[in-house]
């Protein structure tokens, strides 16, 4: 049985993605002492990716000027579904050869540290709960808006997972006649509010003949980004404002369903585009308009404050608390 190093003072938080792995040395207050980001080589198989994780961990310790015996343990968020306590990956999209693989044994052999693993969004949610906007919240749900729509749930201090998976609120259906989602179903939150859905909505308006300053911001319409749409919306461009408002309404319906389902004290909206005020304000307004009165009374909706650091800080929070996500 692999043990934590209780004599240590610091933990390592790791954010493992299909392209890069980031490791950070974190103190007990959630301050990042050092950070190392290198390629994860997800397509090259378990052994090589574990080598990269170990390298990022060891480099981050060296960068912080610490010794290995000052580290308590490592916590890691990674996409997919896992048996976290046993360290077995069950479903890891984009990671070659991971399904069914034991991850903790090679990581222990390469680093000497105990590892705690969890789904990336659930881990980021735990980071936002421990060190971010969710501090001391009783029941917290977080959505991350991006290429997909991720979600995590913290119940009374513990990251929730069902039999083995965290909630996939991005694949709840909010429009039965809606567009096809990457998961194969129709009208999921993700099909309506993902990065591509935002861009497509703006493009469709422009292609139908509507005038927009977005046209002047790019060479071809496919170069439009959600950030540009937000910028144009700030400058009162009607197509951009409509796009953000329509996306915000869909997302607001999703949040209202979440309020009615979980009676949370806090819903956090994260991901790059969550910084858009018009989007965030429409989400909040819609969610409070259509959720049940006695439930919404106890719920706040806030933007994430950790941003891209939520992943490594979530990993650190797992290692610190000795829990899984």
Instruction: In angstroms, give the least distance from the CB of 168 to Zn ion.
Output: 8
* Helix 195-207 × helix 226-234 angle, to 10°: 60
Position 249 contacts Zn ion (CB under 5 A): no
Residue 8 CA to residue 259 CA, distance in Å, equals: 40
Per the CB < 8 A criterion, the answer to whether 127 and 317 are in contact is yes
Instruction: In angstroms, give the least distance from the CB of 171 to Zn ion.
Output: 4
Position 192 contacts Zn ion (CB under 5 A): no
Which helix (H) or strand (E) segment holds residue 31: the answer is: none
Instruction: In angstroms, give the least distance from the CB of 121 to Zn ion.
Output: 14
Instruction: Name residue, tokens 């965290």.
Output: 166
Q: By C-beta, is 57 or 153 nearer to Zn ion?
A: 153
Residue 49 CA to residue 43 CA, distance in Å, equals: 8
How far CA 92 is from CA of 11, 53, 74, 118, 224, in Å, comes to 25, 16, 20, 12, 30
Position 133 contacts Zn ion (CB under 5 A): no
Position 181 contacts Zn ion (CB under 5 A): yes
The window from 96-104, 190-198, 213-221, 282-290 that contacts Zn ion (CB under 5 A) reads 190-198
What's the DSSP call for residue 147? S
Instruction: In angstroms, give the least distance from the CB of 314 to Zn ion.
Output: 24
The window from 71-79, 174-182, 229-237, 298-306 that contacts Zn ion (CB under 5 A) reads 174-182
Coil vs helix vs strand at 210: coil
Position 171 contacts Zn ion (CB under 5 A): yes
The window from 21-29, 94-102, 145-153, 188-196 that contacts Zn ion (CB under 5 A) reads 188-196
Q: By C-beta, is 183 or 207 nearer to Zn ion?
A: 183
Residue 75 CA to residue 88 CA, distance in Å, equals: 15
List residues binding Zn ion (CB under 5 A).
171, 181, 183, 188, 190
């Amino acid at each position: 049985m692999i043990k934590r190093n209780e004599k240590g003072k610091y933990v390592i938080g790791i954010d493992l993605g299909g392209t890069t792995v980031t490791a950070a040395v974190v103190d007990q207050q959630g301050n990042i002492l050092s950070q190392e980001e290198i390629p994860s080589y997800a397509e090259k198989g378990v052994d090589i990716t574990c080598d990269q994780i170990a390298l990022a961990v060891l480099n981050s310790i060296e960068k912080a000027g610490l010794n290995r015996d000052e580290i308590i343990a490592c916590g890691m968020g990674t996409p997919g579904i896992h048996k976290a306590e046993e360290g077995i990956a069950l479903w890891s999209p984009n990671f070659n050869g991971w399904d069914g693989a034991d991850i903790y044994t090679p990581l222990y052999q390469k680093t000497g540290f105990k590892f705690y693993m969890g789904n990336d969004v659930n881990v980021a949610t735990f980071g936002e709960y421990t060190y971010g906007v969710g501090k001391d919240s009783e029941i917290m749900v977080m959505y991350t808006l991006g290429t997909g729509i991720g979600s995590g749930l913290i119940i009374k201090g513990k990251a929730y997972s069902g039999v083995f998976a965290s909630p996939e609120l991005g694949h709840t259906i909010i429009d039965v006649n809606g567009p096809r989602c990457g998961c194969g179903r129709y009208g999921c939150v993700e099909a309506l509010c993902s990065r591509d859905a935002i861009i497509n909505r703006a493009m469709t308006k422009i292609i139908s003949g509507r005038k927009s300053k977005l046209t002047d911001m790019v060479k071809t319409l496919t170069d439009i980004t959600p950030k540009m749409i937000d910028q144009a919306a700030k400058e009162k461009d009607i197509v951009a404002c409509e796009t953000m408002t329509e996306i915000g309404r869909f997302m607001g319906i999703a949040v209202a369903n979440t309020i009615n389902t979980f009676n949370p004290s806090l819903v956090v909206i994260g991901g790059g585009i969550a910084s858009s005020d018009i989007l965030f304000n429409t989400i909040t307004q819609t969610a409070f308009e259509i959720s049940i009165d006695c439930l919404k009374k106890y719920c706040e909706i806030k933007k994430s404050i950790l941003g891209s650091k939520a992943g490594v800080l979530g990993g650190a929070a797992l290692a610190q608390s000795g829990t899984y996500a």
